[in-house]
Structure 1
Amino acid sequence: MGEVLDRPTTPAGPRAGARAAMPDCARRLRLCEAAAGVFLRDGYAAASMDEVARVAGMSKRTLYQVFPSKAALFEETIAATLVPIALDTDLEREPDLRRALTGILVAAAEHLLAERQIGIFRLVIGERHRSPELAAATHRVLTARGSSVLERRLATEAAAGCLALSNPGTAARMLYGMVLGSAQMRLLLGVRDPPRRAEIVALAEEAVGLFLDGAAPRGQQAQAAGRR
């Protein structure tokens, strides 16, 4: 049976006094949403499971049934916050390579450079000495997802002979770094505001242009140089 909420605390929940079953996936997501807010407000060490349960509108017993420890809750909160980048799956199959790469990079940047995601990274960095397990959990989450949409698309193009790449994974990380690196560092330091979409799009377009010029097969590079 799903969780029975007698006193929901969010507008999206059922009306006060109503009894509603909540699917397990929705319960986990709700707890992670509540936990993200508590962790960001109080810090990892000071955050309490009691407060997470209260914010989520659930009992502490239910919280521990879903997440046996604060460490387990934090790791899934990281996964829910950082990993599910809202990419249009059609981008991976977009025929126009330049448009596909640009769209993937824009979606990734808009997600990872948002205020909450930057806050999570700051939290992990700030508490790395008191709670080194946070960095290990973050690394596990980010590596467990396997190859990214960007890496898979680059691998497909390389296999077809359309790009000259020795390692699509390395190429994908380089592209992400070109678009995310500088802005992410300045956001972590608190010396700039999150970039607007127009800025992200312009940066992604320039990065993709430079990348495609460099990764084109040798014959295509020579033809492009001749045209210039």
Structure 2
Amino acid sequence: MDISPHKVKAGRPRAGTEHERHALMLEQALELFMLEGVSQTSVARIANVCGVSTRTIYERFDNKYALLIAAIKHMVEKDVSAMVQIDNLSNQTLHQVLTDIGRFMLNRVLEPRMLSFFKIGVAEASHLPELARAMKAVGPERIHQMLSDIFSFYAAKNMLPTLDFKRAAESYCELLIAAPRQKALFGVLGADWDAEAHLAFVVNLFLHGLHGMEPANAVK
């Protein structure tokens, strides 16, 4: 989904199934929310860009916030589908799977539009706590569940000890994303920042801990 910084393409597809048209509407609506902010994006504006009537939108969603949640859920499910298909789990080590998924996630959250949307979300969530909780449920919590399922898969094959997989998933995401995103938001993520080195360090730290890491990887 490519977003121009100045314009969102308008109009519904002339062909395709109802499911495809609905998906496109969600994607176009999310583009608007990302570009203009939630409070600044009206249902009428969304309808105009999507080439539908406001009545059509209200027939499907109670309000623009319900549409936003549906749009985020659609985006996350597409991302989850892409991540779980990166590699055949049965033929890969957990190290490789976490590296591939981590690379996908890191690239995604550091996209300029995603950083902009994160800023908007933080600013507006304080005024709409119920919306913030709903966004968390269809966003981060869905990613955490995907990773938890992957950890369970490896544990069932005796390739990973049984532990609190949901908490492990949350920890992996925090290690991977929190610091780079924070620096990017404040404009202090240097041009020389090495994403691959960060990813390798996080995966090794997560899987082995400081005591289990190779000396060369323990300190950078």
Q: Decide: shared fold, TM above 0.5.
A: yes
Instruction: Indicate conservation of the 8 Å contact 1:91/1:104, yes or no.
Output: no
Instruction: Indicate conservation of the 8 Å contact 1:75/1:141, yes or no.
Output: yes
Correspondence for 1:207? 202
Secondary structure class of the residue paired with 1:169: helix
Cα distance in 1 for residues equivalent to 2:157 and 2:28: 45
- Does residue 31 of structure 1 match 2:28? no
Quick one: which amino acid aligns to residue 37 of structure 1?
A: E
Out of 100, 110, 115, the position equivalent to 2:112 is 115
Post-superposition CA distance 1:40-92 (Å, at most 9, x none): 33322221111111111222222222323112111112223345323152343
Structure 2's unaligned 5+ residue stretches are 1-7, 216-220
Correspondence for 2:170? 173
Structure 1's unaligned 5+ residue stretches are 1-8, 15-19
Give TM-score scaled by structure 2 length.
0.75
Cα distance in 2 for residues equivalent to 1:91 and 1:203: 24
Post-superposition CA distance 1:70-116 (Å, at most 9, x none): 12111112223345323152343333332122112112222233223
Residue 25 and residue 111 in structure 1: after superposition, are their counterparts in 2 closer, same or farther (change >3 A)?
farther
Correspondence for 1:189? 186
Post-superposition CA distance 1:172-200 (Å, at most 9, x none): 2222222111012223334448x89x933
Residue 93 and residue 132 in structure 1: after superposition, are their counterparts in 2 closer, same or farther (change >3 A)?
same
Q: Identify the structure with the greater helix proportion.
A: 2
- Does residue 87 of structure 1 match 2:83? yes
Correspondence for 2:43? 49
Give TM-score scaled by structure 1 length.
0.73
Quick one: which amino acid aligns to residue 78 of structure 1?
A: I
Quick one: which amino acid aligns to residue 123 of structure 1?
A: I
Secondary structure class of the residue paired with 1:87: helix
Cα distance in 2 for residues equivalent to 1:189 and 1:82: 25
Residue 130 and residue 13 in structure 1: after superposition, are their counterparts in 2 closer, same or farther (change >3 A)?
closer
Cα distance in 1 for residues equivalent to 2:52 and 2:11: 14
Correspondence for 2:137? 140
Percentage identity across paired residues of the two chains: 25
- Does residue 62 of structure 1 match 2:50? no
Secondary structure class of the residue paired with 2:55: helix
Cα RMSD (Å): 3.3
Cα distance in 2 for residues equivalent to 1:11 and 1:59: 13
Correspondence for 1:163? 160
